Structure formats: structure tokens, C-alpha cells
Structure 1
């Protein structure tokens, strides 16, 4: 257990020095929050009631879908994987340590948004703090699980970047954080429900846990865990 915790702590320190993670988990999401927070509240004063959730969904999606997968490719698509195998280290350790490290970084970024938004943009904080952070933790975990599947399935960095963007952009545009989902055509509403960003946003905006919002996230998480298990077994057999 102590070796596992050491591995997670070491990965967290390495991620702090990673430029890609710094950009995708902190710089870009917080810059987007700084710019779009003022625009959203100026165009629509009612946006202050959901500003924290909207900016959080964008930041988590970017960090999980664009920031996490390349870190996994660096491990499982390089000689680091051989080092794991030669020393008898389970292959899942790299995935778990990166997952937990990214979870902590994204949680820190979301906490910054939560603290700064009411001060900078007069945003309304969530009514029930435990419910909000519980929903946030679930959303981060589900989003990271999708990023983990991408990182294990795609070995080519260029192809991975393209696929990550293809998933990230629709998930943001169709989630309801940019404009109300009711304005979308029926087809795009259905497509938007396939992404965790849509359900994570609904879950964080609500003051209670609605089963209808939580169930899709649980299903996505279970499916991602199964796919990650298959991906790790495939890597182990190579």
C-alpha cells in the first residue's frame, strides 16, 4: 500500500512539471473561465446561477479528454511499459496513478473556479456544497475514465489528439453550458446525451442527486472500466 501511495505521489509531482497537463488542467480552463465568465454574465445576467457549473464542465472535459490520454501514451506506448514488465510491476499501476493524479489536479482547478467565480463575477455558489462536490467528483471520475480508454486504445499521438478533439468539442457544444439544450435540434439533443458533460452539468446544477442524471454517468463509468480492463490485457499480451 505504501508503494502504491508513493507511486501516486510521485506521479502527481511529475504531472506538476508536465507542460501539457499544466496547459490543459490549469492554464486554458482558467483563462477560458476568466474571459468567458465576464462575457456570459454580461450577455445574460441569469448565467451567474450556473456559471460555476458551466466553467467546471469545460475545465474537467478538457483536462480529462485532452490532457490525460497523452500521459498514458507516454507510459504504454514507450519503453516505460517494458520497465514495468521487467520489474514485475502491474501494468494497471500506471493507469491508476495517472488517474488519481489527474483527479487531484482537476479538483484543485475546479475549487479555484468555485472560490473565484462569486468574487469576480458575482456568481451564485451551489446551494448544497456536499451535493455539488459529490456530483463533481463523480463527473471528474467518469470523464477521466473516458480519457483513460482513449489513452489505452490509441498509441499514435497525432491520431490521439484528433480523436480527443472530436470527442471534446461536441461534448462541450451539446452539453448545455454554452446555450440551452432546448435550442438544439432533436438529433443533436440525442447525440449530446452520449457525453458525460451533459449529465455532469445536469447533476451539478441540481440541488439533489436525481437518478435520471446519475444513472447515465454510472453506465458510462462501468463501460469505460470494462474497456480499460480489455485494453490493459491487450497491452500485457503484446
Structure 2
């Protein structure tokens, strides 16, 4: 446990010292939050109602999907993962410290947004902080799991960028962050249901704002948690110390199992 705590503290500090991680964990999310907070409410006054949750979800997406995979790939390609194994650090510890430290950073940014949004942009204080905390946790589980899985199956950082953008860009455009998912055309709503952010934003709408959503929040939370758990399990199973793996094609195919919950959500709810 002491070794795990030391490793976790090291990863947390790395998120502050490493320029790339600092950008992904703090500068990019907070800079985008300030820009969107200054522009969107003027274009659409109703956006104030979703400013806080949308920017919290954005923070999670950036910190996990855009930030975590490259770190794992760099560690593997530079021999750091093999060095960890030689020194007795398990693959579970390697993945767990990455997940926990990243979620810690996202939580700090979330607190900054919660405190500053009412002051800077005249946004109402959230009445149900508990609902936001719940959605933050389940969204973090889903996105960190997918981010770890992307890092596991990618051979280099160029590939992680492609995989990450396939998830990140649609989440921004049709995942409920910029405008409500129920305002989307029917044809696009189908694709939006493949995105974790869609379920997170809809669950927040029902639980915190007490408005009618597209889905039962129990289903939304279940889909996010199952997506994360499947991703964690697959990441442990497909974990590689280097790229000399004869089953790389099989590994990438198996990673698609993590998408089963959102696919079932698209088909049946």
C-alpha cells in the first residue's frame, strides 16, 4: 500500500510538472471554460442552465480521453512499463494510479468551475451538488476506462490521437455539451447514444434539474459504469509491456467489447 501511495503521488505531481499533462488537465479545460462561458450565454441565454455540467464533462473528456492514452504509450515505448515490472510494480498499480491521479486533477478543475461560474457568468448555483458528484464519478469511470484502453491498444501517439478524436469530437458536437441532445434531429440522436457524454448530460438533467430526459437515469448511470468496468477489465487483459505482440490485431478487436453497453443503449432504450 505504501508503494502504491508513493506511485500515486508521483503520478499526481507529474500531472503538474509535465507541460503536456498540465495543458490537458488544467490550461485547456479552464481556458475553454472561460471562452465558452463568455460567449455561449450571450448567443443562447438558456446555455447558462448547462454551463457548469457541460464544462465539467468537457474537463473529464480532455483529462482522460485526450491526456491519458499518450502517457501510457510513451511509458511503453520508452521502456518505463518494463522497468516498473522489473521493480515489482504490477500492471494494476500502473493503470490504477493513472486513473486516480487524472480524476483528482479533473475534480480540482470541477471545484474551480463550481465556485467561479456564478461569479464570472452569473450562473445559478447548483441546488443538487450530489447529483453532479454522482454524474462526475460515473462519467469519470467510463472515460478513464476508455482512455486507458485506447492507450493499451495503440502502438504510438499518432494512433492515440486518431482513436481519441473519434470519441472526443462527436462528444463535443452531438454529445449534449454545446446544446441539449433532445434538440438534435432523430437521425443524429442515434449516433449521439453511442457517446458517454450523452448519457451523463441526460442523467444530470433528470437528477439535478428535475426535467424530463431522453432516458431513465438508472439506465444512463448503468451504461456509463458498465462501459468503464469493461474497459478496465479489457485493459488489464490486453496490457502490453512493449509493442512486440503477435496478437495486436486480436487485441484491437477485443477492445470493441467495451462499447457493448452504449450499443445496447442505442438499440433498446
TM-score under structure 2 normalisation?
0.82
1:227 matched to 2:234? The reply is yes
Decide which moves more: 204-213 or 47-56. 204-213
Aligned to 1:72: 72
Q: Deviations over 1:179-202 (max 9, x none)?
A: 232332323211111111111112
Q: Is the 8 A contact 2:141 2:224 kept in 1?
A: no
Specify every segment of 5 or more residues in structure 2 that has no aligned partner in the other structure, as ranges: 209-215, 246-269
Aligned to 2:225: 218
Aligned to 1:2: 2
Measured in 2, the distance between the counterparts of 1:125 and 1:196 equals 25
How far did residue 101 of structure 1 move? 0.7
Q: Is the 8 A contact 2:74 2:157 kept in 1?
A: no
TM-score under structure 1 normalisation?
0.92
The SS at the match of 1:89 is coil
Q: 1:86 to 1:33 in 2, by over 3 A?
A: same
Q: Is the 8 A contact 1:72 1:152 kept in 2?
A: yes
Q: Is the 8 A contact 2:91 2:236 kept in 1?
A: no
Aligned to 2:106: 106
Q: Give the number of equivalent residue pairs.
A: 237
Measured in 2, the distance between the counterparts of 1:218 and 1:113 equals 24
Measured in 2, the distance between the counterparts of 1:215 and 1:199 equals 10
How far did residue 235 of structure 1 move? 4.2
Specify every segment of 5 or more residues in structure 1 that has no aligned partner in the other structure, as ranges: none
Aligned to 2:266: none
Decide which moves more: 69-78 or 49-58. 69-78
Where do 4+ consecutive residues of structure 1 move more than 6 Å?
A: none
